[in-house]
Chain A
């Protein structure tokens, strides 16, 4: 025992620092182990069992790769994975484009900028569930603003329930997801734009560069690091997006909005198939992990070859 204490006793200043730093981090790290790391391990373990409501607390049988074979071999699985990626790329792409447009607009030299900036934030601040109630009503065919508006504009000749048809439900969910994700992207792009040194613009202006040229050749390359990291963060969140789809459509109609996360939730929580649900959760983590690593690798390659993220300096 005294040997152990002797061993742990810091000998150099660096060791004291390391020990003190870890003592400060330990509480947070312990919470992470308890609430994230252990559950991850447990999800992994459960994914090889036939655990259900009766056997959750113990007694579930080990079934090997059966859950994985069933999940991946399932008739709907390829469609769900494709849909999830389509959902992610579409939604993240729109968030990036809208974020760039919004940030450029709000960065321009106009009056009342402060108020206008604050007005962009509510979708992000308000509980997702409550924002979705608003959209639920907006998408209503008989009483919603959008359906009535397009009827007046002569696009449709009667009520159109956006959430009732496969395609329109999917794209409606995308619009709501973009609505919730855009404010944060806008805010970070705006901050990055304001960090670009002003003399760069002035030099280009003196040389007669147009606004568009300055945006393309100065703003974009300068804020590319922010765009790249926001895109990855946003992709992860969008991939994992649950509440929006759940409140709007519960994954329907006929599975048209069922992404991997929705499928996981449905299997695990609604059908009480904990083993099969855990398998899907593991697949979500795996797919997302592979995607992130690929994204960062490709980015690094482009970076080495062409300068930051493929934008020529």
Chain B
């Protein structure tokens, strides 16, 4: 009863959702259309005679052409031969960041979820406070640090800061997952004489797999999204460049090859989009579980 809508309300809801989604997806639509149009069409702009207003047909002809094709998706590999490398780098960097950050997140999240110990609240607060500092604020000393260890212009220059800035969020997310695993299981293992580490490895970890996957995917998406800043400041080597930085090469040529740039961008976001598509149900439920609890 309460959830029934009149026809008018229903239409209102769907129209509002459509408008909301239009805002969320408009850039992707524009990128896709631009990637299909030949460069000549992309830069043609039939002038509307002075005194006349632009009609809907004028508008359409500017964004629609008979010569639309997927040509840019073929040409982009030729224009920027390094493109596969950039995409590989992006995926590789994110995978490495996810792996290393999980190595630090899992034990710490376990400790926060399971034990009451001295300094628990204060240290957790300090971890979360790290979110206040963006990488941009710490660039100078980080640059110095990486140079000191000779890590500039290597994968490590992007992996190390990437890992560090994801750890706090990861701990917080995984903690709320681990808190849901009943403590009795652990006690039972303990009574049977299992050591703490054995319990962690053999009892908790298998039960935590769904949570681990969700947090891992969240870390991967985060790492994939945040490559730009560290890439443009700590790395000049084109061999290690991730896609968001490498894509600027399309700008370096005589004219900006916008259609190929858009095509490359869309291909470059496919890895995360696919992962999200497969995981979205768990991911959305997992990411928000901490928010609902209170």
Interface residues of A (CB under 8 A from B): 14, 17-18, 20-22, 24-25, 27-29, 31-32, 34-36, 38-40, 42-43, 46, 51, 56-57, 98, 101-102, 105-106, 108-110, 114, 116-131, 133-135, 137-138, 142-145, 148-149, 151-152, 154, 157, 159, 179, 182-183, 187-188, 190-192, 194-195, 201-202, 205, 225-226, 233, 236-237, 240, 242-243, 247, 261, 264-265, 268-269, 274, 277-278, 281, 284-285, 288-289, 292
Contact = CB atoms under 8 A, between A and B. Distances in A.
Interface residues of B, number: 107
A142 B41 CA distance: 12
A225 B294 contact: yes
Interface string B142-155: 11110110000000
B244 A129 contact: yes
A20 B132 CA distance: 28
A29 B123 contact: yes
Contacts of A240: 133-134, 136-137
Main secondary structure of the interface of B (DSSP, over half): helix
B276 to A, nearest CB: 5
Contact of A201 (B2, B123, B144): B2
A182 B167 CA distance: 23
A145 B26 contact: yes
B1 A187 contact: no
Contact of A110 (B10, B23, B26): B10
Given A122-B25, A127-B244, A110 B54 contact: no
B177 to A, nearest CB: 15
8 contacts: A18-B115, A18-B117, A35-B165, A46-B141, A120-B20, A134-B27, A137-B34, A195-B292
B76 interface: no
Contacts of A106: 17
B21 A36 contact: no
Contacts of B2: 201-202, 205
Nearest to B53: A154
Interface stretch (B65-73, B179-187, B267-275): B267-275
